[in-house]
C-alpha cells in the first residue's frame, strides 16, 4: 500500500505558539483516520499545514508527490486540487444555487467543457444522496444537507485525500452519524479521509484508526 502522507519529526507553530513538535505520522491510500483531541490541541492546525495554510517549521513532510517544506507558492493550487477540504461552517456561496456552487468550484480548478461540468456535478450529487437538491439555495437546506453539498464539492476533482475539519461540529447527533457514515462510504471507494473531531461517540460508533493531539504531541492510539 502506498504512503499518501509521511510526516517525520515535524514542528508547527502559529504566532510563535508551538502547536506540534516532533510529530510523526503516516497515512496510506484509502485509509480513514480520526484526529482527536481537545479544542486548541492542534487538530485543525495539522490539517491546515497539509494544504499549506500554515507552514511546517521543521522535519520532513511529504504529501503525494509534494514536499510540504519546499513547495513553491505557484504549486500550492495544484496540491489543493488533489485534496478535498470539508469545513465545519460549510463555506458555501450563499448567493447561488447548489449547482452554481459546484460549477464555480470546477471552473476555478480549470474545467471548461459545459457537458463535462454538468456530468461531474450530477455524479457527486448522486454520490452524497443530494441529486434532487441541485436547484436549491444553501439557506433552503438543513445543516446536514449543506454538509453533504460541501462533501460533494470536496469530491469534484476525485481527490486522493479528504481533509474534514470537525465536519459534524454544527450538526445534531443523528445527522452527524449520517455524515460520518458518508465519509466512511467514500473511503471504501478508495479516497483516504482525515477527520478531526472531539466527538468520541462518533469515533466509537464508526470505528477507524485514531490519532491524538495532546500536549503538542501526536500519538497513534490504534483503532
The pLDDT score that the predictor gives to residue 183 is 95
Mean local confidence (pLDDT), 36-61? 88
Distance CA 141, CA 129 (A): 13
Distance of CA 83 to the CA centre of its chain: 7
The pLDDT score that the predictor gives to residue 215 is 84
pLDDT class of 223 with cuts at 50, 70, 90: low
The pLDDT score that the predictor gives to residue 169 is 86
Distance CA 30, CA 120 (A): 21
Q: Which segments of 133-172 does DSSP mark as H helices, in order? A: 143-155
* Closest to 128 in 3D by CA, of 108, 107, 153: 153
Chain mean pLDDT for the chain: 91
* pLDDT digit string, tens, across residues 3-36: 899 999 998 888 778 888 888 889 999 999 999 9
**Which H or E run includes 108?**
helix 98-108
> 1-82+159-223 is classed in which CATH architecture?
3-Layer(aba) Sandwich (3.40)
Mean local confidence (pLDDT), 48-70? 91
Helices (H) and strands (E) in the chain, counts: 7, 10
pLDDT at 1 over 70: no
* pLDDT digit string, tens, across residues 140-191: 999 999 999 999 999 999 999 999 999 998 889 999 999 999 999 999 999 9
The pLDDT score that the predictor gives to residue 222 is 64
Distance CA 125, CA 162 (A): 16
Mean local confidence (pLDDT), 60-67? 93
pLDDT class of 68 with cuts at 50, 70, 90: very high
* Closest to 101 in 3D by CA, of 144, 130, 137, 132: 137
The pLDDT score that the predictor gives to residue 106 is 92
pLDDT at 57 over 90: no
* Closest to 19 in 3D by CA, of 220, 221, 163, 215: 215
Locate the domains of the chain by residue range: 1-82+159-223, 93-157
Does this model's pTM top 0.75? My answer is yes
Distance CA 102, CA 222 (A): 36
Amino acid at each position: 500500500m502506498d504512503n499518501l502522507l509521511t510526516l517525520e519529526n515535524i514542528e508547527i507553530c502559529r504566532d510563535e505558539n508551538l502547536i506540534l513538535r516532533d510529530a510523526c505520522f503516516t497515512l496510506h491510500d484509502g485509509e480513514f483516520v480520526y484526529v482527536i483531541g481537545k479544542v486548541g490541541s492542534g487538530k485543525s492546525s495539522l490539517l491546515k499545514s497539509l494544504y499549506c495554510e500554515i507552514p511546517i517549521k521543521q522535519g520532513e513532510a511529504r504529501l503525494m508527490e509534494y514536499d510540504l517544506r519546499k513547495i513553491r507558492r505557484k504549486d500550492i493550487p495544484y496540491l489543493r486540487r488533489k485534496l478535498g477540504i470539508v469545513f465545519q461552517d460549510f463555506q458555501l456561496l450563499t448567493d447561488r444555487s447548489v449547482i452554481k456552487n459546484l460549477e464555480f468550484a470546477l471552473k476555478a480548478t480549470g474545467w471548461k467543457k459545459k457537458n463535462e461540468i454538468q456530468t461531474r456535478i450530477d455524479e457527486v450529487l448522486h454520490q452524497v444522496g443530494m441529486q434532487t437538491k441541485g436547484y436549491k439555495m444553501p439557506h433552503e437546506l438543513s445543516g446536514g444537507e449543506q454538509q453533504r453539498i460541501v462533501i460533494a464539492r470536496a469530491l469534484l476533482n476525485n481527490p486522493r485525500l479528504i481533509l474534514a475539519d470537525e465536519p459534524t461540529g454544527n450538526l445534531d447527533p443523528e445527522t452527524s452519524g449520517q455524515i460520518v457514515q458518508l465519509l466512511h462510504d467514500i473511503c471504501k471507494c478508495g479516497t483516504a479521509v482525515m477527520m478531526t473531531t472531539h466527538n468520541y461517540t462518533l469515533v466509537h460508533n464508526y470505528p477507524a484508526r485514531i490519532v491524538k493531539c495532546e500536549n503538542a504531541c501526536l500519538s497513534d492510539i490504534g483503532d
